[in-house]
Amino acid sequence: MGSARAASHWRLRTVPTDLARHYREQNWWDDASLGDLVAAGLGRNGTVPFRVRSQVRPWDGSFADIDRAARALAAHLRGRGVGAGDVVLFQLPNWVEAGITFWAAAYLGAVVVPVVHFYGAKEVDYIVSVTDPAVVITADRFGQSDFLETYRHVLTRHGSPPWLVVNSTGAALPAAASEFAAALDDAPIDAPARVDPDAPAIVAFTSGTTRDPKGVIHSHRTIGCETRQLDLLFPNIPPPAITGAPVGHFIGMVNAFLVPLMRDMPVSLVDVWDPGRILKLMLDEQLGMAGGATYFLTSLLDHPDFTDAHLALMPFSGLGGSTVPIAVTERAARMGIKPYRSYGSTEHPSITGSFLDEPEAKRCRTDGHVLPGVEIRLTEEGEIESRGPDCCLGYTDAALTAAAFDSDGWYRTGDVGVLDADGYLTITDRLSDIIIRGGENISAQEVEELLLGLDSVAEVSVVGIPDDRYGERAAAVIRVRPGQSNPTLDDVRAHLAASGLAKQKWPESVHEVADFPRTPSGKVQKFRLRQQLAEGAG
């Protein structure tokens, strides 16, 4: 199956005709492609700085420099047969090459598939299998991840597409790979390709309740709308912010490579979130920290090097992407940081949010009100259903699309919430069995199935428990076989490492139980487990 034909097998949902017309009439949708958005933004903001602060691949330049490189890479890829509708998959840290790749793919009208840099062979193999990329772009290695070793085997199993490598170490490349730098020598293309704005533009993979990552598909229209939503939500207040969220994540990618194009907004990427180094960078370059998952804020506030000088560079903090404890928002407010919360997902990224001029109690204690064009409703069980112009087209797995959307375009979020009298939403629980640690979704089912491979484990439940830094962390609750000992945390981690599971998904504590709290039908009551662990009774 050629990659340009992959989308025909995804069986995406159709937005109801009246709803689509409404979105166009209200200008929440327009006819611009992702390439059009990029060309306009890079052209308008050519002198704006783009910087990467990295011990491995630091870089200083401007949007104009990136634009020339992206257009050259687009020309090179076009010469290798990559065009509109083809898939460009990249797995890169927060380096300049990630921006060049993203914008080049947009110019081609290609479908961009970012892969978070810490995904291992298991996740990568699945993602390649369902997207059928026309070209793959990776680092050689980063931290503990050896991308040359991973992709050498994965790509051989999936047709051996062209593979470009950002060679940070000068390593000898596999025969199937070529140097990324050499692909920037072509004459730049003049203009973005013309594409159908309703066609897929981005496939973002996120872990959910299934074993494999979910491929969430956004069109040119939905991603354009989402970019404008985030631009509206983001306060236009200096100083410029540091971007630490991985660009392989949907929200990190949009915040790094699209939102800055809407205004004169410098980009400062870091590839490793080291709070001590971040604090030094803030003072050295007068940069702020605008928010993200709870951990990005708390890791700085809790660091011994944090001072009033840093506080002065943090006038606000937008929090979302993981559980946001009220204690964190109220602490920030007491310190003089104006917090605001927002709620969404990769599928429907901007559902609710608050603005800085709204009451502090609403900003600190709720997840905000619906954003322009968005509608929400609560089922009898309290589950939130949403629809809006930034909601995705569905999944690479047609069965997931059918299960998540109804014929009127309503998306079943899997989250439970309550609305107050003023229309502000507060998330209270999740129906879906995922743990959100520092913005990263962890499938409890995936980890549980792997832990059942330990000889001593008779039954296991993986649940999220509150964490002031990450929002949540994963805990493995185990019932052992008769005569066996409970595995230690080191045992669990060694087993998961051998399975190839990304380290970020490993449990951070292990608890033994004689039996689990259960429903009359025998199903484990995970809400009771979470409550027991949170109360210290696990």
Q: What's the CA gap between 427 and 365, in Å, rounded?
A: 10
42-83 residue pLDDT tens:
999 999 999 999 999 999 999 999 999 999 999 999 999 999
Ranges in the chain, pLDDT < 50:
1-5, 521, 537-538
Are residues 209 and 301 part of one domain?
no
277-335 residue pLDDT tens:
999 999 999 999 988 888 889 889 989 999 999 999 999 999 987 678 787 899 999 99
DSSP track, 271-330 = SS--HHHHHHHHHHHT-B--EESHHHHHHHHTSTT--HHHHTT-SEEEE-SS---HHHHH
Q: What's the CA gap between 392 and 217, in Å, rounded?
A: 6
Give the angle subtended at the CA of 89 by the CAs of 443 and 295, to the nearest 5°: 45
Q: What's the CA gap between 538 and 530, in Å, rounded?
A: 9
pLDDT, residue 209, reads 55
Q: Which of 377, 409, 430 is the last residue of a domain?
A: 430
Are residues 343 and 255 part of one domain?
yes
How many structural domains does the chain have?
A: 3
- Report helix, strand or coil for 89: strand
What CATH number is attached to the domain comprising 264? 3.40.50.12780
Q: What's the CA gap between 60 and 427, in Å, rounded?
A: 40
Tell me how long the chain is.
538
Are residues 463 and 425 part of one domain?
no
Are residues 112 and 16 part of one domain?
yes
pLDDT, residue 481, reads 84
Are residues 413 and 445 part of one domain?
no
pLDDT, residue 527, reads 76
Q: What's the CA gap between 372 and 229, in Å, rounded?
A: 8
Asked if 436 contacts 323 with a C-beta cutoff of 8 angstroms, the reply is yes
Are residues 367 and 338 part of one domain?
yes
pTM: 0.84
Q: What's the CA gap between 267 and 536, in Å, rounded?
A: 42
Q: What's the CA gap between 112 and 216, in Å, rounded?
A: 11
Are residues 443 and 362 part of one domain?
no
SS3 of 26-77: CCCCCCCCHHHHHHHHHHHCCCCEEEEECCCCCEEEEHHHHHHHHHHHHHHH
Are residues 450 and 412 part of one domain?
no
The helices-and-strands tally (H runs, E runs) of the chain is: 17, 28
How many Cβ atoms sit within 10 Å of the Cβ of residue 40? 14
Asked if 149 contacts 181 with a C-beta cutoff of 8 angstroms, the reply is no
Radius of gyration for the alpha carbons in the chain, expressed in angstroms and rounded: 23
Q: What's the CA gap between 28 and 78, in Å, rounded?
A: 31
| Strands 291-292 and 316-319, sheet pairing | parallel
Q: Which of 185, 218, 251 is the last residue of a domain?
A: 218
Are residues 310 and 162 part of one domain?
no
Domain of 527?
A: 434-534
Asked if 175 contacts 183 with a C-beta cutoff of 8 angstroms, the reply is no
Are residues 419 and 395 part of one domain?
yes
Q: What's the CA gap between 365 and 444, in Å, rounded?
A: 27
User: CA–CA distance from 258 to each of 224, 248, 266, 325, 359 (Å)?
Assistant: 9, 14, 12, 28, 29
Give the H or E element holding residue 24. Answer: helix 17-25
| Strands 383-387 and 411-419, sheet pairing | antiparallel
Asked if 416 contacts 382 with a C-beta cutoff of 8 angstroms, the reply is yes
DSSP 8-state assignment for residue 170: -
Residue 254: what residue type?
A: V
Q: Which of 430, 456, 487 is the last residue of a domain?
A: 430
- Give residues with Cβ within 8 angstroms of 152, minimum separation 6: 174, 176
Give the burial class of 80: count Cβ atoms within 10 A of its Cβ; 0-12 exposed, 13-18 middle, 19 or more buried.
middle
How large is the angle between the packed helices 220-233 and 34-44, nearest 10 degrees? Answer: 40
Are residues 149 and 18 part of one domain?
yes
Are residues 343 and 460 part of one domain?
no
